[in-house]
Each structure stands twice: as structure tokens, then as C-alpha cells.
């Protein structure tokens, strides 16, 4: 039998408990007078910042920032179609990366006691080092699976040796517009909250690798 080219796909995944939570909160204040609205927003944001600084010093937060401040005014309309007096708005967006789920739960319960503070996002993720290491390990395992599949096909054909011709991320050996991403992560569990107290459990992040390979068997 002449040489045979075998094309296979290898997949692998790993579940790793999330280590960090990127959280965003927004302080929003509304009122009839611009000055008091801005002042109240600044005071409330300062209080939130003080809490983040304390968690940063204790090592429970790796970084924080307050990058966006907005102040604007509008004239709402009532049910009868009449335009009402000006309403002034001020908001401050703050973000932080927590590396301690217990500290994050406590902090969220504390800041959301105020009607002026809204939690806009909690994004669980792996640390950069853990993610890079896990992706390398998962990618190597996916290649190993592809080699094993190619070897199994060769054995079934009565061929003795298998050598790699091409190995690539899924979709790169052929045009497949609907191919899944070769490497990815998704959240496997959601945080739960009740009332003014929070109890957050870091979810498992699933890191997946999909590779395609062509092997020559002879």
C-alpha cells in the first residue's frame, strides 16, 4: 500500500477554579441642582475608593481605577407631554480586580447598601500566569490526542509508522467559517446574591484547545 495522508482533529480541555474577579461599579446621583449632585457623587465615589485602597493594602485587591466621570443634564417629560425642569446627573465608574472572593463578597455587600451604587459587572478569570500555563498544557494534550487518532487509523490500515505533515489550530488547515475558536474559556458557574449580602463562589473556567493535523502513514 502506498503512503496515506490522514487528517484528524484533537481536542482537550481543563477546568481551573477562577482566581480573579474584575468588578465594575457605578456611582450615580441625580437631582435638581448641579452643584450638590456633583458634590454628592464625588463624596460617594471617594468612600468607595477608600474601601478599595484598604483592600489593596491588605493584598485582597491587585489593582483598581476610576477612569470615567460623567456629568450631564436633561429635561424629562411628564405623562401629559409637558417638559419638566432640568434634572442634573453625575456618575463615576470604578473598577477593581479582587483576588479574594470573600473580600469581594464583603465589599459588594457594603457598597451596594447605598442606592447610589450599582454593580455593573463581575468578570471571573484566571491569573495571566495560570492561564498561559493551562493553555500550553491543554494545547500539548490536544496534539497528543491528534497523534493517537492518526496512529489508530494507521494501525487499522496496516501501516506501521506515522509522521506529522501539518499541525494547526482548528480551521487553519481548511476554510471553515463556522469552526469553533481553537482556544477559549467560558464561565461554568454564576455568583449568587441575596438581599444586601453577597456570597460569591469562584466558578470553574474551562480552557479548551482544538487542533487539526495531517499525518503521513506508511
Distance CA 23, CA 16 (A): 20
User: 72 is in which domain, residue-wise?
Assistant: 20-125
Nearest to 147 by CA among 85, 198, 211: 211
Same domain, 194 and 121: no
Same domain, 144 and 106: no
Same domain, 71 and 106: yes
CATH classification at residue 74:
3.30.70.120
C-beta separation of 104 from 21 below 8 A: yes
Distance CA 218, CA 161 (A): 6
Same domain, 121 and 93: yes
- Could you report the per-residue pLDDT of 35-62, keeping only the tens digit for each? 999 999 999 999 999 999 999 999 999 9
Same domain, 185 and 116: no
Same domain, 176 and 201: yes
Q: How many domains, in total, are found in the chain?
A: 2
**Domain-terminating residue out of 125, 141, 167:** 125
**Domain-terminating residue out of 81, 108, 125:** 125
**Cβ neighbours of 194 (radius 10 Å):** 7
pLDDT for res 152: 95
pLDDT for res 212: 94
471617594: which residue's cell? 46
pLDDT at 84 over 80: yes
pLDDT confidence bin for 24, thresholds 50/70/90: very high
- Could you report the per-residue pLDDT of 177-188, keeping only the tens digit for each? 454 444 444 434
Cell numbers linked to 6: 490522514
pLDDT at 190 over 60: no
pTM of the predicted structure, to 2 decimals: 0.74
Q: 3-state SS string over 19-65?
A: CEEEEEEEEEEEECCHHHHHHHHHHHHHHHHHHHHHHHHCCCEEEEE
Can you spell out the DSSP letters for 85-113?
PPEEEEEEEEEEEES-HHHHHHHHHHHTT
pLDDT at 83 over 90: no
Same domain, 135 and 205: yes
Same domain, 168 and 156: yes
- Could you report the per-residue pLDDT of 85-140, keeping only the tens digit for each? 899 999 999 999 999 999 999 999 899 888 899 999 999 999 999 999 999 999 99
- Could you report the per-residue pLDDT of 150-164, keeping only the tens digit for each? 999 999 999 888 999
CATH classification at residue 139:
3.30.110.170
Same domain, 183 and 199: yes
Residues 46-61 as b or e (16 or more Cβ within 10 Å = b): eebbebbeebeeeebb
Amino acid at each position: 500500500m502506498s503512503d496515506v495522508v490522514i487528517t484528524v482533529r484533537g481536542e482537550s480541555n481543563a477546568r481551573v477554579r477562577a482566581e480573579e474577579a474584575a468588578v465594575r461599579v457605578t456611582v450615580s446621583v441625580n437631582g435638581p441642582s448641579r452643584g450638590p449632585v456633583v458634590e454628592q457623587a464625588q463624596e460617594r465615589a471617594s468612600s468607595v475608593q477608600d474601601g478599595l485602597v484598604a483592600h489593596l493594602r491588605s493584598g485582597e485587591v491587585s489593582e483598581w481605577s476610576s477612569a470615567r466621570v460623567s456629568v450631564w443634564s436633561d429635561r424629562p417629560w411628564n405623562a401629559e407631554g409637558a417638559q419638566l425642569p432640568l434634572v442634573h446627573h453625575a456618575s463615576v465608574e470604578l473598577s477593581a480586580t479582587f483576588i479574594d472572593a470573600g473580600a469581594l463578597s464583603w465589599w459588594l455587600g457594603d457598597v451596594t447598601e447605598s442606592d447610589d451604587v450599582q454593580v455593573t459587572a463581575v468578570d471571573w478569570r484566571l491569573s495571566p500566569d495560570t492561564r498561559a500555563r493551562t493553555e500550553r498544557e491543554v494545547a500539548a494534550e490536544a496534539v497528543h490526542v491528534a497523534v493517537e487518532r492518526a496512529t489508530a487509523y494507521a494501525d487499522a490500515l496496516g501501516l506501521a509508522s506515522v509522521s506529522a505533515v501539518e499541525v494547526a489550530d482548528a480551521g487553519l488547515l481548511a476554510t471553515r467559517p463556522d469552526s469553533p475558536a481553537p482556544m477559549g474559556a467560558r464561565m461554568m458557574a454564576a455568583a449568587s446574591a441575596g438581599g444586601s449580602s453577597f456570597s460569591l463562589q469562584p466558578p470553574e473556567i474551562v480552557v479548551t484547545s482544538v487542533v487539526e493535523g495531517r499525518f503521513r502513514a506508511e
